[in-house]
Amino acid sequence: AQSVAQPEDQVNVAEGNPLTVKCTYSVSGNPYLFWYVQYPNRGLQFLLKYITGDNLVKGSYGFEAEFNKSQTSFHLKKPSALVSDSALYFCAVRATTDSWGKFQFGAGTQVVVTP
């Protein structure tokens, strides 16, 4: 069985400070890992994903994430947060053994960036 944990319900950060949203996972086999962002009353927007290769993945809007196999983590980071980054962030995992497209989503982390 696969699972994803986002240990923080909410992350508060001041504009201009670094932003980190944590994600840990558990899967059988190698994982495919994704980050999505959701603004109020909108659908999920794809930010980035890890499939294989370089552990540091760069994505949209200045976000990046680092895959750490030993710690089974895939934390999302942004060097300098903007107020417009305030949104709900979801980490998702899919196992390489999964034969079709089902994601296992984390519970989500609300990011609040204050001016």
Partner 1 sequence: DTEVTQTPKHLVMGMTNKKSLKCEQHMGHRAMYWYKQKAKKPPELMFVYSYEKLSINESVPSRFSPECPNSSLLNLHLHALQPEDSALYLCASSQEGGGGGETQYFGPGTRLLVL
Binding footprint of partner 1 on the chain (CB under 8 A): 32, 34, 36, 41-46, 49, 51-52, 88, 90, 94, 96, 98-103, 105-108, 110
- Residues 6 or more apart whose CB falls under 8 angstroms from that of 44 comprise 36, 37, 38, 90
CB-CB neighbours of 25 under 10 Å:
21
CA separation for the pair 101, 115 (Å, rounded): 39
Q: What letter would DSSP give residue 62?
A: G
Shorter beta-carbon distance to partner 1: residue 8 or 98? 98
Q: Closest distance between partner 1 and the C-beta of residue 98, in Å?
A: 5
Q: Closest distance between partner 1 and the C-beta of residue 102, in Å?
A: 6
Q: Closest distance between partner 1 and the C-beta of residue 112, in Å?
A: 13
Shorter beta-carbon distance to partner 1: residue 9 or 70? 9
Shorter beta-carbon distance to partner 1: residue 60 or 71? 60
Report CA dihedral (22, 43, 30, 19) to the nearest 10 degrees: -20
Shorter beta-carbon distance to partner 1: residue 8 or 15? 8
